[in-house]
A and B are shown apart, each in its own frame.
Chain A
Amino acid sequence: QVQLQQWDAGLLKPSETLSLACGVYGGSFNNHFWSWIRQPPGKGLEWIGQINHSGSAKYNPSLQSRVTISVDTSKSQFSLKLASVSAADTAVYYCARSSRYSFAYYFDNWGPGSLVTVSS
């Protein structure tokens, strides 16, 4: 059973860069996509972007100018950087695995979430 572990980012000031990492334990790193998804307090879910084991990344156009997702297959980890944060970026950030089921990819395993607060 795969488990995803996240490391907290905590409190950031406006204009700083958010950095999060997610470790993958107990499963194959290949044959999946690895995503970051965020959820502002009391609100819905927003997909940030994804990466595969070879480093091919895709991003949500709404955040593309500020987002970088990278992968380190030797450590079975992937990471998120979000530049120039503002209060609007305050959210719980989840890492998630997406797997292929019946011709499409769905988020079948999620990390526990990391609360990131942006405040001066």
Chain B
Amino acid sequence: DIQMTQSPSSVSASIGDRVTISCRASQGINTWLAWYQQKPGKAPEFLIYAGSRLQSGVPTRFSGSGSGTDFTLTITNVQPEDYATYFCQQADSLPPTFGQGTKLEI
């Protein structure tokens, strides 16, 4: 299985800040990576696919980058509704695997 490692496990930010979350794959996955946002008690929501492409309806303050083994999720101008846990997921091969999550806190 491909192992996905996120860092940091938690990050603190104020409204309006810029936040970056990293995700590293144990082997190259081209750009086959997604990011999800999960709020407490809710199912994850699909934000970004193919490493950098925003799902329809996702605010443009979210952006993704990277290829191969190293990827980044960036949130510019953090808003109150962005406080959540973020997961990366590789879609290169079965089984799909997820990072352990990064919690964005005030």
Task: Determine if A107 is an interface residue (Cβ-Cβ < 8 Å).
Answer: yes
Interface of chain B: mostly helix, strand, loop or mixed: loop
Per the 8 Å Cβ criterion, residues 15-44 of A in contact with B are 43-44
Residue of A47, A102, A105 touching B53 (CB-CB under 8 A): A102
Q: Does B101 contact A107, Cβ atoms closer than 8 Å?
A: no
* Cα A65 to Cα B97 with chains together (Å): 19
Q: Does A44 contact B87, Cβ atoms closer than 8 Å?
A: yes
Contacts of A84 in B (CB 8 A): none
Q: Does A61 contact B95, Cβ atoms closer than 8 Å?
A: yes
Contacts of A61 in B (CB 8 A): 1, 95
Q: Does B97 contact A47, Cβ atoms closer than 8 Å?
A: yes
Task: Determine if B69 is an interface residue (Cβ-Cβ < 8 Å).
Answer: no
* Cα A7 to Cα B97 with chains together (Å): 25
Q: Which of B17-25, B43-51, B59-67, B75-83 contacts A (4 or more CB under 8 A)?
A: B43-51
Per the 8 Å Cβ criterion, residues 45-93 of A in contact with B are 45-47, 58, 60-62
Q: Does A107 contact B34, Cβ atoms closer than 8 Å?
A: yes
Least distance between A66 CB and chain B CB atoms (Å): 15
* Cα A46 to Cα B4 with chains together (Å): 12
The closest CB in chain A to the CB of B46 belongs to A108
B residues bordering A, Cβ < 8 Å? 1, 32, 34, 36, 42-46, 49-50, 53, 55, 87, 89, 91-92, 94-101
The 10 closest A-B pairs by CB, nearest first: A110-B43, A104-B91, A45-B98, A102-B50, A104-B32, A60-B95, A101-B49, A44-B100, A106-B34, A108-B46
